[in-house]
Structure 1
Amino acid sequence: MNSRAILSREGLQSAVADSSNLIKTYKSYLSELREELNERFYADEPIQNLVSLRSDRLDTLMRSIWSNYSWNDDITLVAVGGYGRGELHPYSDIDLLILSRDQDHDYAANIESLITLLWDISLDIGHSVRSISECVAAAAEDITIATNLMESRVLVGNSDLHAELMGLVGPDQIWPSAEFFRAKWDEQIHRHRKFANTEYNLEPNIKSSPGGLRDIQMIGWVVKRHFGAQSIDELKERLFLSQEELDTLKDGQNFLWRLRFALHLIAGREEDRLLFDHQRTLARQFGYEDDDGKLAVERFMQQYYRWAQQLGELNDVLMQHFDETILRACEAETVLELNPRFRIRNGHIEVCNDKVFEKTPSALLEIFVLMAHHDGIDGVRASTIRLIRKSRHLIDAKFRADPRNKRYFLDLLRAPSRVALNLRRMKRFGVLAKFIPAFGKIVGQMQHDLFHIYSVDAHTLELIKNLSRFRYPDMVKHFPMACRIMQRLPKPELLFLAGLFHDIAKGRGGDHSSLGAVDALEFCQYLGLNKRDSNLVAWLVEKHLEMSSVSQRKDIQDPDVIRDFALTMGDQQHLDYLFCLTIADINATNPNLWTSWRASLMRQLYAETRRALRRGLENPIDKQEWIAETQLGAIEKLEDYGFTEAEIRELWGETGEDYFIREQIDDIVWHARAIAQRTSADEPIVLVKEGGLLDHEGATQIFVHTRARKGLFALLAGALEQLDLSIQDARIYNAGTGYTLDTFYVLGCDNTPIGDDQARIDHIIKFLKEQLKLAEGSPEDVQRRMPRQMRLFSTPTRTSMATDLNKGHTVLEVITPDRPGLLARLALIFNKYGIRLQNAKIATLGERVEDVFFVTDEENQPIKDAVLCEEIQQAICRELDEQASHQAI
């Protein structure tokens, strides 16, 4: 017999004689319900029906379970929270209140048995047992309890008890409307902060993130408390909500409900996080496919982010509207007229009448210019935000052709402050996407990786924010060079324009930098900028990745690299603009990956390029002159310590030219003194110090001088990994005397230098010396698994090799998922094929690394054999992918 039929009968106890059969029947009922929900969901039944269905069926179950016990009229079973609203997803918590008239009752044994039974049938319940007075006291102290009671309903028992309770916890008794709203708004602000105040988290929580279901519920709670309304629909009747806004709320809620329902079914438990692996599954379920420009998962997430943005925007408007009408209803008003179109009321700008945008469409841009140039404006009145949203359709081709609107946009970019804030407002209110249609295409567009933590539009505005911050005095300690350079740029608005367009062509396929440069040039010409300024903006967009790439992937100690980069820059002005844009871009892509070492590389590249530009591109530095100057400077300093020039040159032996090109004079002196003071030829030298001339920049420098032997780099790479140190740069030199001089720049696990922690420094030195004294130089395997997110982005390894005969080395590039022990494994492959490492540039970009190795054969010659190069690359790909597969298990 169908279990639902059994539950609907009276006298269940006679149908099910013992408790084991009772549990079996209830479990069968829940199992059938799960199967039915699954089938009806995948049959595309309206989600509203399904969310209500589970609640309705559980009502039946709870009443049946309640009937197994003896109760009287002084106790009742109440549904609260989401269950109280009648909104349950497949694995949502079942929140219950067992409400009694008094604290003293005789139902303890029944209640304990009831709760045990609910657990035995595997229901995930949250429950409380309270008398009416206890409920009132708890609700008066805790806004969450008060909110849950607002949404409560009687399941079975004496409804008069519940009615009495509701009378005692109403707004005329506790939590008056204004206090309730303030507390819930503070709660929302705190919740949003947990998610960085953005809808665009990589793995958003569709319930609690900004723009999620909680934001919709927040509106419902305020409506219910203030108006006594039972649904959001009543806001429209009270003219607090337009039909369009009501439709947005309902459609957005249905989308999020369907998404949450699917998440529960996929996970087989309550799950509200859009984890990466779920994103891919959901993209397929929602019918998305890959195309040339975007992955299916990126298209799916763009839909989610756009809904979250719309719902978040609507929540903002309504919360501000409630604030103005509830919290500030009795405040004295201060009104300042700005012009015939706008005025400031209590710090917020508003239109003088509701026909302003209709009569003067240019006011849709003017309002943002006014906010950028007036310090006394804190924001926009809710009624005016709604009018902007209602009027933004006026921004069309005719609007964009109006010279006034071009001037307004440039005036905004030229404002001395708050450029980023008002561009963000323009985007939030839908104006920016209308004025720059290409920008509208990137709204909510996400790249499915761990490197880009924001959608393209959010990243773009974060970049603009960073550029604006370079003007703030308190940012000088964090970005000293960028702040100084920003202050002297003749036209900062050109930098803001380049920032707006630098990623605008993402998702189209092809080179987004080149495509974006075309868009940028057209827009600059449209604004009426002169040819020189337009070309500069387009050049910045086209080259916005150049400086980051050169600093992280090339040997910037090489004079030829600096000369080539200086030729690309052309002059100091282009270098200054690009430096600021690059720093802002890196920090807006993923601030956690902006390390002190990357900062030092950028500073060094800028300084060396500026020196080359001052010298003149027609007068490149002579390498031999560079080497001679470095050696002379080191000799002069070492002579102050009592060395003779002959002793110094003997100490240097046959150390190659690269050592004197890449190393600083002070470091060469530091190395030489330590080598000269060594008492035993077999004793390895390990030195540790901070590397970097500026605060917040650099890495910890580890110098190793020891006898050369095969497998040394593999040994050291493995040892440093065991010390939780990540190698950022490695320089390997042959001293020509049977010794090597190895310099490593490392960061700790928090991406910062070690600092002056002497105990840790002593441990590093001791551990490395112990490893170097081992008879066999083979690294231990690092026993750490890859984090969950990285395992999900395990893509095949890619390599490339190119020989540079002029430089005397081969450049090997390895792009592969990051994982513990990676460098040590690569070093073992180098040993196997007789590869000598001369230099390494290590770059970790989210879930992957893009490492560049400058290598030679055992005779210190470039690897010219094409067949051997191919064999090496195949071995690297094969072994690294096998390692990744093993660590992902």
Structure 2
Amino acid sequence: MAAPLNDAADDAAWSAEARTALAQSDARLAKRFDQGEDVDRLLALRARSVDHLLKAAWTRCVPAGAPLALFAVGGYGRGELFPHSDIDLLVLAEPDAQEASHDALARLFAMLWDAGLRASHAVRSPVQCTEAAADLTALTAMLEARPLMADERAQAALAVAIATDKVWPARDYFVAKSEEQRARHARFGDTSDNLEPNLKEGPGGLRDLHTLAWMALRAFGVRELQPLIGLGHLGADEAAALERERRVLVKLRYGLHLVAGRGEERLRFDHQKTLAQRLGYADDAQNLGVEQMMQGFYRSAAIVRRINDRLLQRFEEQFDGAATPEPLDGRFELRRGYLAARDNAWPHADIAEVFALFAMWAAQPQARGLHSHTARALAEALPSLPAYASATPELRERFMALLRGPQPVKTLERMARLGVLGRWLPAFAQVSGRMQFDLFHVYTVDQHTLAVLRNLAIFASGTADERFAMAHEVWPRLRKPELLLLAGLFHDIAKGRGGDHSELGAVDAREFCAAHDLSEADGELVAWLVEKHLLMSVTAQKQDIADPEVIHRFAAIVADRVRLDYLYLLTCADIAGTSPKLWNAWKDRLLADLYTATRLALRRGLEHPVAAAERIAENRDAATDLLIAQGVDAAESDALFARMPAESFLRERAEQLAWQAMSLRGTEPGATVVRVRELAGHAGAFEVFVHSPDRDGLFASIVITLDRLLGLAIQQARALDGPGGTIFDSFEVVNADPRYAPGAAQIERSLAAALSGPLESIRPSRRTQPRHLRHFRIAPQVAFDASPDGRRSMLSVVCTDRPGLLADLAHVLRKQRLRVHDARIATFGERAEDVFLIGDANDQALDDTQQQALRDALLARIDGENDA
């Protein structure tokens, strides 16, 4: 470095030189990181290099002997400085010295910023430090103060200023920090198993470890967790586990800063693959490298949370004292509301005691949780807990008793969180923390499984949930609810092994049921549910369940009403447990309709499939009865039905037919009618009905209007040709953006107004693809098949989903002068799978030339070419 000078030009030269030196140092550290050097050493080295620059700048700006002291605080004070972390500084000085040194300090901080150091600073006297420490965050930063240019007198003054007798006594600090952590966890949904987790602030992240260290420092005066072992608050095994997982998290965060090129703390999709490659993770036959990396993070976060909970509980007892135990029986008691084994030597190497603990816990809903000492004893006993295959019949029976007892889902959740379920069922341990690098599965496999089980618990509660139309009615029909719990536990347990996870999981389930002495019939039911757990979802979303032949084929696979009940509940729980955004009113209604139609087919008997004529007659009679109940006589009903497509009586429900007929009542034949109604019990979900004289591009115009003007996501579309050159189009839609939620009346007005003008002016808008979709591009596929009757063409489009996709596809169909007669819209995370029944201008199937022209136009539009 150049010698200290005082003019602005020389300060700028110094800062530029410092910036270059810092960049060179960072580059060397990055190279050493990639070579596998210990990350703690790299953090210390970066802090040391910044220390050197700071001290040089201080010497340059602050006169020798000035009554000022400089401290590093916060993470920098700990001596941990990540590649792009800010540096937090405290200047300790009395008010008169602050005023006298104002210009020198301003010059100092300007030079640091010019040198590329994002310095956050505070200038305070000891009294001002005490005042500032009333803020919990400010106090916490000062707790970790490390002297840079400060003598012992200044260090002592700062220590006195923030001592427990002046501000935040140890217990108050503990309570406040505990609540702060609870609120922070809540911001992340109280789970570390997010697709884009925050390594620093998220549950089980580095901030949880920092919080424990701050509490230990405030309460016991120790700057590390290791001394807590001697104080009896932390086991040596727990300390070792926390240190091991801290190293994992620190390495991930250091690497994330490098690949992001900034102080990024959230492990976004943008960086996950790059970081995994940088850390040396490689794809194998079963898992992508990025999935392996993320699984390591999730497992580390789970261990940090588990031990964090225990240590917080011990701190609480340290501050408040141990309350008088409340005995529950000869083995267990409540201590301060926590369930505890009465004998400190529990479980005496008796694994049956572990299941007894969970049974007692289930019988004590008022328990706050598991006492920390018992939780640690349980953790120590885990290695001796056998897998079910090598366990005794008595232990297997105890496990099944838990599933048949009170709160079985809560018990399975607890067993999973504490590591017991993974020991008992090794296959579950294999999927614990296992993520799938897509947008369809927003949870790890184990957390998804637990979410499915929680949904089943909702069904079992007996209380109707408006999200599920029929689940609470179907649940009481189950002969043995524990069989459905087992199916939920096993349905995804073979993910990541290669092959069909449904088939592999069915093998696992069959073996498990046999080992636990379930009857052959019960075991086969569980295995069948696991093997077919996607059947109902795929049938409902990808096939026309208004077609009697589809219902007959599905019913033939299901075979009986017992299986149907179980499969329906499992399907609802599975879809709703895959993503909070995936379950909606349309899927609920679709599955309920499939369930009802299949139950009727099974009651009728599979040897008596419903013929089209019979279906039409039944629907027409039922719709007539509904109209008569609304004051429409039989003659007028017939007249209204005559204006409707004959096919609608085959494809639609009686209640839907009656609603459409009432929409036509009082209108002239051929008039344009737009009606919208909200689906019962589902806010933000609507059925849209449009009757109009047919015009080229009408279907596309409706789709574009619903998408572009009203922000509605189309879930299903049906376009039928009516008498006299009219169309009967119906759509089921949901609000795509909850911030903008039009009501039924607004949708009617906007759509009617748009269709009253020239259709050519209605064009899809171009939108920017959301950030997260850029990392999940699917090669688009366009395929054609003949319709079952051979008269029209079936168009299938599979591609990456994005806002406005359906509007774009419909626009292409309009430009190709093609007619749409039916559409099934299915989205699975980032994957869109749309099927259209189309015909040419003469309503005939497309020939090879027409198919190729349409394929080319669709692929161009999907790839972003704007032909509007």
State the TM-score, normalizing by the size of structure 1: 0.91
Residue 686 (structure 1) aligns with: 674
Moved more, 825-834 or 533-542: 825-834
In the alignment, the residues of structure 1 paired with residue 232 and residue 222 of structure 2 have an alpha-carbon distance, to the nearest angstrom, of 13
In the alignment, the residues of structure 1 paired with residue 480 and residue 829 of structure 2 have an alpha-carbon distance, to the nearest angstrom, of 34
How far is 1:633 from its partner?
A: 4.7
Deviations along 1:338-396, one digit per CA (max 9) or x if unpaired, are 23x43333322222334333441221222112211233433211111111111111122
Q: Which residue among 508, 521, 527 is the counterpart of 1:519?
A: 508
Q: Which residue among 163, 166, 177 is the counterpart of 1:170?
A: 163
In the alignment, the residues of structure 2 paired with residue 316 and residue 354 of structure 1 have an alpha-carbon distance, to the nearest angstrom, of 20
How far is 1:800 from its partner?
A: 4.1
Does 2:775 match 1:782?
no
Residue 835 (structure 2) aligns with: 852
Rate the CA distance shift 1:359–1:445 in 2: closer, same or farther, 3 A. closer
Aligned to 2:347, the other structure's residue is in SS state helix
Does 2:811 match 1:821?
no
Residue 21 (structure 2) aligns with: 29
Aligned to 1:593, the other structure's residue is in SS state coil
Does 2:696 match 1:737?
no
Q: Which residue among 548, 560, 570 is the counterpart of 1:559?
A: 548
Deviations along 1:773-821, one digit per CA (max 9) or x if unpaired, are 30x5364131321110012212211344443435865443322111233
In the alignment, the residues of structure 1 paired with residue 78 and residue 867 of structure 2 have an alpha-carbon distance, to the nearest angstrom, of 47
Rate the CA distance shift 1:656–1:762 in 2: closer, same or farther, 3 A. closer
Residue 373 (structure 1) aligns with: 363
The correspondence of residues 539-618 of structure 1 with structure 2, limited to 5 A, is 539-618=528-607
In the alignment, the residues of structure 1 paired with residue 638 and residue 669 of structure 2 have an alpha-carbon distance, to the nearest angstrom, of 20
Residue 80 (structure 2) aligns with: 87
Q: Which residue among 315, 318, 332 is the counterpart of 2:323?
A: 332
How far is 1:757 from its partner?
A: 5.6
Percent same amino acid at aligned positions? 38
Deviations along 1:482-519, one digit per CA (max 9) or x if unpaired, are 12222332211111111110000000111111110110
Residue 62 (structure 1) aligns with: 54
The correspondence of residues 666-815 of structure 1 with structure 2, limited to 5 A, is 666-672=655-661, 674-675=663-664, 677-678=666-667, 681=670, 684-690=672-678, 692=679, 694-696=680-682, 699-722=685-708, 723-750=710-737, 756=743, 758=745, 760-770=746-756, 773-774=757-758, 777=760, 779-806=762-789, 810-815=793-798
Residue 242 (structure 2) aligns with: 249
In the alignment, the residues of structure 2 paired with residue 148 and residue 548 of structure 1 have an alpha-carbon distance, to the nearest angstrom, of 52
Deviations along 1:82-125, one digit per CA (max 9) or x if unpaired, are 01101001111100111113466422222222222222222111
Does 2:856 match 1:875?
yes
Deviations along 1:452-477, one digit per CA (max 9) or x if unpaired, are 11000111111111111223355534
Rate the CA distance shift 1:549–1:239 in 2: closer, same or farther, 3 A. same
Residue 309 (structure 1) aligns with: 302
In the alignment, the residues of structure 2 paired with residue 39 and residue 441 of structure 1 have an alpha-carbon distance, to the nearest angstrom, of 34
Aligned to 2:864, the other structure's residue is in SS state helix
In the alignment, the residues of structure 2 paired with residue 414 and residue 886 of structure 1 have an alpha-carbon distance, to the nearest angstrom, of 61
2:541 partner letter: Q
Task: Tell me the C-alpha RMSD between the 2 structures.
Answer: 2.8
Residue 492 (structure 2) aligns with: 503
How far is 1:859 from its partner?
A: 4.8
Residues 686 and 768 of structure 1 are in contact (CA less than 8 Å); yes or no, is this contact kept in structure 2?
no
How far is 1:844 from its partner?
A: 2.2
Structure 1's unaligned 5+ residue stretches are: none
Residue 346 (structure 1) aligns with: 336
1:407 partner letter: E
Deviations along 1:677-736, one digit per CA (max 9) or x if unpaired, are 44595x53222222x3x4137931222222223322222211211121111111111114
Residue 825 (structure 2) aligns with: 842
Rate the CA distance shift 1:244–1:674 in 2: closer, same or farther, 3 A. closer
1:343 partner letter: E
Rate the CA distance shift 1:738–1:97 in 2: closer, same or farther, 3 A. same
How far is 1:666 from its partner?
A: 4.7
1:794 partner letter: R
How far is 1:289 from its partner?
A: 2.0
Aligned to 1:592, the other structure's residue is in SS state coil
1:746 partner letter: V
In the alignment, the residues of structure 1 paired with residue 116 and residue 225 of structure 2 have an alpha-carbon distance, to the nearest angstrom, of 34
Rate the CA distance shift 1:705–1:151 in 2: closer, same or farther, 3 A. same
1:871 partner letter: Q
Does 2:480 match 1:491?
yes
The correspondence of residues 413-424 of structure 1 with structure 2, limited to 5 A, is 413-417=403-407, 419-424=408-413
1:768 partner letter: A
Residues 198 and 205 of structure 2 are in contact (CA less than 8 Å); yes or no, is this contact kept in structure 1?
yes
State the TM-score, normalizing by the size of structure 2: 0.94
How far is 1:539 from its partner?
A: 0.9
In the alignment, the residues of structure 1 paired with residue 753 and residue 368 of structure 2 have an alpha-carbon distance, to the nearest angstrom, of 57
1:361 partner letter: I
Rate the CA distance shift 1:16–1:709 in 2: closer, same or farther, 3 A. closer
Aligned to 1:591, the other structure's residue is in SS state coil
Deviations along 1:566-611, one digit per CA (max 9) or x if unpaired, are 2222222111111111111111110222111111111111122222
Residue 450 (structure 1) aligns with: 439
Residues 276 and 792 of structure 1 are in contact (CA less than 8 Å); yes or no, is this contact kept in structure 2?
yes
The correspondence of residues 269-284 of structure 1 with structure 2, limited to 5 A, is 269-284=262-277
Q: Which residue among 30, 33, 51 is the counterpart of 2:43?
A: 51
How far is 1:187 from its partner?
A: 0.8
Aligned to 1:842, the other structure's residue is in SS state strand
How far is 1:425 from its partner?
A: 1.8
In the alignment, the residues of structure 2 paired with residue 698 and residue 664 of structure 1 have an alpha-carbon distance, to the nearest angstrom, of 21
Residues 697 and 817 of structure 2 are in contact (CA less than 8 Å); yes or no, is this contact kept in structure 1?
no
Q: Which residue among 369, 380, 388 is the counterpart of 2:378?
A: 388
Residues 712 and 777 of structure 1 are in contact (CA less than 8 Å); yes or no, is this contact kept in structure 2?
no
Does 2:409 match 1:409?
no
Rate the CA distance shift 1:437–1:792 in 2: closer, same or farther, 3 A. same
How far is 1:194 from its partner?
A: 0.9
Does 2:110 match 1:116?
yes
Structure 2's unaligned 5+ residue stretches are: none
How far is 1:290 from its partner?
A: 2.0
2:40 partner letter: Q
Residues 76 and 159 of structure 1 are in contact (CA less than 8 Å); yes or no, is this contact kept in structure 2?
no
Rate the CA distance shift 1:634–1:422 in 2: closer, same or farther, 3 A. closer
1:580 partner letter: L
2:827 partner letter: T
Residue 629 (structure 1) aligns with: 618
Deviations along 1:404-454, one digit per CA (max 9) or x if unpaired, are 21111111111232x222212212221111100111110111011111110
Residues 714 and 823 of structure 1 are in contact (CA less than 8 Å); yes or no, is this contact kept in structure 2?
no
Residue 33 (structure 2) aligns with: 41
Moved more, 49-58 or 697-706: 697-706
Moved more, 276-285 or 246-255: 246-255
Residues 68 and 92 of structure 2 are in contact (CA less than 8 Å); yes or no, is this contact kept in structure 1?
yes
In the alignment, the residues of structure 1 paired with residue 450 and residue 826 of structure 2 have an alpha-carbon distance, to the nearest angstrom, of 25
Rate the CA distance shift 1:780–1:39 in 2: closer, same or farther, 3 A. same
Aligned to 2:856, the other structure's residue is in SS state helix
2:712 partner letter: L
Aligned to 2:581, the other structure's residue is in SS state helix
Rate the CA distance shift 1:645–1:87 in 2: closer, same or farther, 3 A. same
Residues 16 and 114 of structure 2 are in contact (CA less than 8 Å); yes or no, is this contact kept in structure 1?
no
Aligned length: 865
